[in-house]
Amino acid sequence: MATTRSAPSVPPRPLLARRNLIVLAAGVVMLAAGYAILQAGHPTLAAVLLVLGYCVLLPLGIAL
């Protein structure tokens, strides 16, 4: 009779690493700052912050 071996137990890997969460948090902070600055009446600076948040930091936080 053959004995079967079970695979060693490996703890599950987290869905997002610490680095991802830091970049995503920076993206959320950038978005909040962009909308706050937009409400304050500075549309050019707000647009730059929003584009950086939506087009750079959030995708980067997912991809890393």
Q: Please state, for a pLDDT cut of 90, what percent of the chain lies above it.
A: 67
Averaged confidence pLDDT in the chain:
90
Cα 52 to Cα 22: distance, rounded to the nearest angstrom: 15
Cβ pair 23, 1 in contact under 8 A: no
Residue 37 has pLDDT above 90, yes or no: yes
> Can you read off the two tokens belonging to residue 28?
């959320």
Tell me if 52 sits within 8 A of 11, measured CB to CB: no
∠17-20-26 over CA atoms, to 5°? 145
- Residue 59 has a pLDDT of 94
Q: How many residues does the chain have?
A: 64
